[in-house]
Amino acid sequence: KNQVEQSPQSLIILEGKNCTLQCNYTVSPFSNLRWYKQDTGRGPVSLTIMTFSENTKSNGRYTATLDADTKQSSLHITASQLSDSASYICVVMGGGFKTIFGAGTRLFVKA
Amino acid sequence: ETGVTQSPTHLIKTRGQQVTLRCSSQSGHNTVSWYQQALGQGPQFIFQYYREEENGRGNFPPRFSGLQFPNYSSELNVNALELDDSALYLCASSMDRRQNTIYFGEGSWLTVV
- Cα A109 to Cα A111: distance, rounded to the nearest angstrom: 7
Q: What is residue A15's DSSP assignment?
A: T
Predicted confidence at residue A96, as pLDDT, reads 65
Compute the average pLDDT of residues A17-40.
93
Q: Inter-chain contact B109–A104, Cβ cutoff 8 Å?
A: no
Band of residue A10 on the pLDDT scale cut at 50, 70, 90: very high
Predicted confidence at residue A28, as pLDDT, reads 85
What lies within 8 Å, CB to CB, of A10 at 6+ separation is: A105, A106, A107, A108
Q: Is B95 on the interface with A (CB under 8 A)?
A: no
Band of residue B28 on the pLDDT scale cut at 50, 70, 90: confident
Which residues of chain B are within 8 Å of residue A44 when distances are taken between CB atoms? 43, 90, 104
- State the number of CA atoms in the 13 A half-sphere of A4 facing the CB: 29
Compute the average pLDDT of residues B97-106.
78
Which residues of chain A are within 8 Å of residue B45 when distances are taken between CB atoms? 98-101
Minimal Cα–Cα distance from B105 to chain A, Å? Answer: 5
Q: Is B98 on the interface with A (CB under 8 A)?
A: yes
Compute the average pLDDT of residues B33-55.
90
SS (H, E, C) chain B: CCCCEEECCEEEECCCCCEEEEEECCCCCCEEEEEEECCCCCCEEEEEEECCEEEEECCCCCCEEEEECCCCCEEEEECCCCHHHCEEEEEEEECCCCCCCEEECCCEEEEEC
Compute the average pLDDT of residues B72-83.
96
B9 within 8 A of B108, measured Cβ to Cβ: yes
In this complex, the residue of A32, A49, A99 whose CB is nearest that of residue B45 is A99
pLDDT above 80 for B112? yes
Q: Is B100 on the interface with A (CB under 8 A)?
A: yes
Mean pLDDT across chain B? 91
Give residues 10 to 69 of B whose Cβ lies within 8 Å of A: 33, 35, 40-45, 48, 55-56
Band of residue B6 on the pLDDT scale cut at 50, 70, 90: very high
Which residues of chain B are within 8 Å of residue A34 when distances are taken between CB atoms? 102
Burial B56-88 (b: 16+ CB within 10 A, else e): bebeeeeebbbebeeebbbbbebeebeeebbbb
Q: Inter-chain contact A43–B44, Cβ cutoff 8 Å?
A: no
Q: Inter-chain contact A102–B100, Cβ cutoff 8 Å?
A: no
B8 within 8 A of B107, measured Cβ to Cβ: no
Predicted confidence at residue A97, as pLDDT, reads 64
Predicted confidence at residue B100, as pLDDT, reads 64
Predicted confidence at residue A1, as pLDDT, reads 75
Minimal Cα–Cα distance from B90 to chain A, Å? Answer: 7
